[in-house]
Structure 1
Amino acid sequence: MSKCILRYIAYLPVNLLFVGLAYLLSPFLAAWSMKHGPVLPGRWQWFSTLDADLDGGVGQGVRGYEPNLTGWRLWWQRTCWICRNPAHGWQSELLGMPAAGSAVIKGVISFDPNRQWYLMETAGGIRFFCFKCDRPLVDGFYLKLWFGWVNKSYDGQNHHYAFQVGLKRT
């Protein structure tokens, strides 16, 4: 377990760099998408999500994301989507753990749906962990804390690196 924690800590600086770049570039990437469509080309898509385009909030039914927007409102919605999911592509393909053959080896340590622990292992024997904690605050807001590598492979290829501290609304 200590090796996976050390790996996690070693990846943290590069993750913070990519997330910071995603926030800084989000208005420009959203503007680029206004001309070229909601899928950013090549590695640029790594600043957003691999499992959805920049209109993913609409398709996934995320609260506050509206269909059929144009102009500034569409640009703003796409900017917000990048900021909601900053650098998920980098976190998956560069910092992620391969999903093929990976397995949960300790199971869910807590059965509280708002607090989950997982210890997992890749097919090659590399262990990794996931800790998710959503704590209720007020008025439907939660404090979202996710650390480790996400237990679900959103892109079907990798468990992406997670360092998320923020608010979420149900």
Structure 2
Amino acid sequence: MIKPVALYLVYLPANLFFVALAYLLSPLLAAISLVTGPKLPGVLQWFSTLDADFDGGIAQGVIGYKADLSGWRLWWQRVCWTCRNPSHGWQSELLGMPADGSVIVRQVISEIPKNQWYIMETANGARFFCFKRDQPLFGGYYLKIWLGWVNKSYDGRNHHYAFQIGPKRRQ
């Protein structure tokens, strides 16, 4: 059985490929969504989020995402949403760990600094991990670091693969 860290590293090139592809395709995907609606058809949805459509930022109250946009402004907002959440579907369906029967074996959570560490296990006994950290920077910004597989299943079926390191603004 492959150890969780080794499996994570094996999946990393595929994840980086799908994330880069989501960034490159984001203008086209947003354009398609103007015709098909805020949820893309079939596997195209895998380039975005499985738990929300292209307008998920509005429902989630994300700063800068507005309702009642149309034309170029709506297209741009959907490009931004794809770049904010690139390839979550691929990370869940292809690289994810099954949620059914999975359990948290160990968790360590601290508030200062804000860290979360989880060791989880699938129903078949495969172990996987999740590490989250919000590293304060300056001016209301922090460095969001998520590695491993997300500790909760957003789509109800899989814990999606996470490799997210980037600045975020506090809301």
Q: Which amino acid aligns with 1:43?
A: V
Separation of aligned partners in 2, 1:37 and 1:118: 37
Q: Which residue of structure 1 lines up, in the alignment, with residue 18 of structure 2?
A: 18
- Cα RMSD (Å) of the superposition? 1.3
How far did residue 110 of structure 1 move? 3.2
Separation of aligned partners in 2, 1:93 and 1:137: 33
Matched, 1:100 2:100: yes
Q: Which residue of structure 1 lines up, in the alignment, with residue 55 of structure 2?
A: 55
Q: Which residue of structure 1 lines up, in the alignment, with residue 31 of structure 2?
A: 31
How far did residue 10 of structure 1 move? 0.1
Separation of aligned partners in 2, 1:2 and 1:100: 20
How far did residue 152 of structure 1 move? 1.1
Q: Which residue of structure 2 lines up, in the alignment, with residue 70 of structure 1?
A: 70
- Match of 1:69, SS? coil
Q: Which amino acid aligns with 2:109?
A: S
Q: Which residue of structure 2 lines up, in the alignment, with residue 112 of structure 1?
A: 111
Q: How many residues align?
A: 169
Q: Which amino acid aligns with 2:143?
A: L
- Give 5+ residue unaligned stretches, structure 2: none
Q: Which residue of structure 1 lines up, in the alignment, with residue 123 of structure 2?
A: 123
Q: Which amino acid aligns with 1:28?
A: L
Instruction: List 4+ stretches of structure 1 deviating above 3 A.
Output: none
Separation of aligned partners in 1, 2:21 and 2:2: 29
- Match of 1:134, SS? strand
Normalising by structure 1, we get a TM-score of 0.96
Q: Which residue of structure 1 lines up, in the alignment, with residue 146 of structure 2?
A: 146
Q: Which residue of structure 2 lines up, in the alignment, with residue 7 of structure 1?
A: 7
Separation of aligned partners in 1, 2:144 and 2:20: 19
- Match of 2:3, SS? helix
Deviations 1:131-153 (A, max 9, x none): 00111111111101110000011
Q: Which amino acid aligns with 2:15?
A: N
Matched, 1:87 2:91: no
How far did residue 2 of structure 1 move? 7.3
How far did residue 36 of structure 1 move? 1.2
- Give 5+ residue unaligned stretches, structure 1: none
Separation of aligned partners in 2, 1:144 and 1:135: 7
Normalising by structure 2, we get a TM-score of 0.96
Q: Percent identity?
A: 67
